[in-house]
Copies of this chain bind each other. A is one copy, B any other.
């Protein structure tokens, strides 16, 4: 009795559940310490201590009806104001309270902005490989996801290739940098080239095309790499942010959208985003945690932990002969499978108790994603298995 649309999704999700169940079985059979699960993008570092203190402070000092009550569907005004100011300080932008809409994580924010702008039949583009959920989010509103295949060895967006896929039906482009699954941070040059194509196409077609910048990994960058703030490169840019990774709060479902004043039809856009938040059933981002994160805007989880994992795994894998794109951000490695069929390669890896995700789940066949948001200890224990895997293909 489930809907037609859900049938395929349920079948797909059963496959993932089956994988997950098998991982648990393997742990029971071989001992948890002998199974190396690199499949999940679940933060492994704890939230900063400041988060706990902030929650308690809100509980102790503020009016409980305010702390746990309804507010404007777009969030508490004081919280939105603090976030706008924090962004302005960091990125030299000029956002105000009205530009911020608090959301139920980045996933909630993406759904809100898609509901706001999409007409059934529209196309929404993204760059492959991409976070597989985009397809579902876009389909929720009757639009079609159009992935641009990767052409560059460094997995930067290729503006010339991109242009070939833009059509009069293109309503938006989802850009995800630092990228899941590649770990690549898009350069300013890449962003500018994509923005130039879009500006030209907006003029040609006579309607707006939005960039939706999905930024849950913004704070997870290593070395001196800069992540360009996309509103500065293209007028019709909406940013979706989440505290899931930066504060290790993925279960709390807290993030925000930035809808800059310069986007076309700003007043309608911001009103519609508020209405979309309400009617999609979010109503508002969870209240207590809104107030708590506002006290933690300068905090972030200890990313040195991820950085050590990144170096350890990247150096080992490349030493064993794996080809891996240089990972500047997020907590993923994007590694070329040692045979054409990434699913067959993942099956071989599993024989060595290595749980990886096939690239085809991200629209990137021939690769695998390795999530290194795990314990350093597990990585160390897993290395002989990776070496053996490489040796199997020699």
Contact = CB atoms under 8 A, between A and B. Distances in A.
A141 B140 CA distance: 8
A252 interface: yes
B279 A280 contact: no
Contacts of A252: 68, 286-288
B286 A253 contact: yes
Nearest to A69: B251
Interface size class of chain A, counting residues whose CB lies under 8 Å from the partner chain: 35 or more
Given A117-B3, A271-B13, A279-B140, A52 B59 contact: yes
A5 to B, nearest CB: 7
A321 B216 CA distance: 58
A104 interface: yes
A59 B252 CA distance: 13
A4 B272 CA distance: 11
Interface stretch (A41-49, A353-361, A385-393): A41-49
A10 B275 contact: yes
A286 B119 contact: no
A355 B275 CA distance: 22
Interface in A270-297: 271-272, 274-276, 278-289
B251 A68 contact: yes
Contacts of A108: 281-283
B3 A107 contact: no
Interface string A219-253: 00000000000000000100000000000111111
Closest 4 CB pairs of A and B: A251-B287, A111-B281, A136-B279, A107-B281
